[in-house]
Amino acid sequence: MIDLHCHILPGVDDGAQDMEETLRMCSMSAKDGVKKIVATPHTMNGVYVNETKAIKQAVKELNDLLVTERIPLEILPGADVHINLNLLKLIEQGLVTTVNDNHRYLLLELPHHLVPPHFKNLVFELNLHGIVPVLTHPERNSILQSDINQLYELVMQGMLIQVTTRSLTGGFGPKPESCCRNLLKYNLVHVIASDAHSSTVRPPLLSPAVEEAGKIIGEANALALVTENPQAIIEGRDLPDWPEPEKPRQSFFQRIFG
């Protein structure tokens, strides 16, 4: 399996705070069956700024240590990028890291309680320049929880969606879990990732969520969310054939009151 979103690098954000914790997380992930992790420290969120050069150096150091510690895991560079109007310029300047530094896919994070009015335009601009945004954990955004039709429209526009393991297994509460299950039901999920921050509270495990997803979309499709799809993203390729998204059906309340 591949974990496309994990705060595994030590001391760079609110994820692993030191190398000992990083190694504990790596060991847990490897035992869960993960072979590759994309290291995705927060950046451009008003708190952390992690530039590509620094991320790639930290990834190299961690990979060297994993060889020494005999932990069978490969770390790749990436970032959990907060929405920013200047993203294209920041990518060109090496201040924002795409997945595996391939300049094709970008993990993009929204605020938890807001969808900015310019977001659709940003997705369009990124696509126009050959960069596919992968929206991270939209099921935890309070606006999108109540209106996943917005996500359907964005997916049809060219965006991909990554949901979090802990959301799907109920760890973030009933609303994110329900949203996750609806997104899976309508073929609006392309990747499951851990978004892990520690070995305890938010651990780097994928298999429990894959099992839950399998009950909704079938075992083969659930497994593809942590194997074939993230592998294509890492390599900068188009995703393999994937079921066409379905337009979510609105409830009577939503049709009347919007």
Instruction: Report pLDDT digits (tens) over 182-210.
Output: 999 999 999 999 999 999 989 999 999 99
pLDDT band at 47 (very low <50, low <70, confident <90, very high): confident
Q: Per DSSP, what are the bridge partners of residue 2?
A: 36
Q: Are 60 and 74 in contact (CB under 8 A)?
A: no
The amino acid at 253: F
Number of independent structural domains in the chain? 1
Give residue 64's domain range. 2-257
C-alpha 60/C-alpha 220 separation (Å) is 33
The conformation of residue 32, written as its DSSP 8-state character, comes to T
CATH number at residue 206: 3.20.20.140
The pLDDT, as a whole number, for residue 257 is 41
Q: Is the pLDDT of residue 88 over 70?
A: yes
pTM over 0.85: yes
Q: Is residue 140 within 8 Å of 164, Cβ to Cβ?
A: yes
At 92-125, the pLDDT tens digits run: 888 899 999 999 999 999 998 899 998 999 999 9
Q: What is the dihedral of CA 15, 18, 19, 20, to 10 degrees?
A: -100
Model pLDDT, residue 250: 64
Distance (Å, rounded) from C-alpha 136 to C-alpha 107? 6
Among 23-32, 40-49, 137-146, 232-241, the range scoring the smallest mean pLDDT is: 40-49
What is the rounded average pLDDT of the residues 69-91? 94
